[in-house]
Amino acid sequence: MVGTFYRASSPEAGPFVSDGDKVVEKTTGCIIEAMKLMHELDADIKGEIVEVLVENGQLVEYGQPLFLEKSE
């Protein structure tokens, strides 16, 4: 286990990205909590989020795909 996947910055906030959203480099996609530290993960492509592959609050591991994305 690497950490916990969070789609939003707080339970009351909307998700950073959803299916069909357009993203550019540096668009925040999610937060991974590891060892009580929060790490924002940013997009490294310009394109579209086709599908979010992980549920909010789910434990994730190294190399696990989090998003299905289509680059422009």
Across the beta sheet with 37-42, what order do the strands follow? Answer: 37-42, 28-34, 3-6, 59-60
User: At CA 49, angle to CA 58 and CA 40, rounded to 5?
Assistant: 50
Q: Say which DSSP state 40 is in.
A: E
* CB count in 10 Å sphere of residue 45: 13
* CA–CA gap between residue 52 and residue 20 (Å, rounded): 10
42 in any annotated domain: yes
Asked if pLDDT for residue 1 goes beyond 80, the answer is no
CATH number of residue 39's parent domain = 2.40.50.100
Q: Could you give the number of structural domains in the chain?
A: 1
Choose among 19, 20, 16, 69: nearest CA to 45.
69
* Predicted local distance difference test score (pLDDT) of residue 65: 96
70 in any annotated domain: no
For 26-60, the pLDDT digits (tens) are: 999 999 999 999 999 999 999 999 999 999 999 99
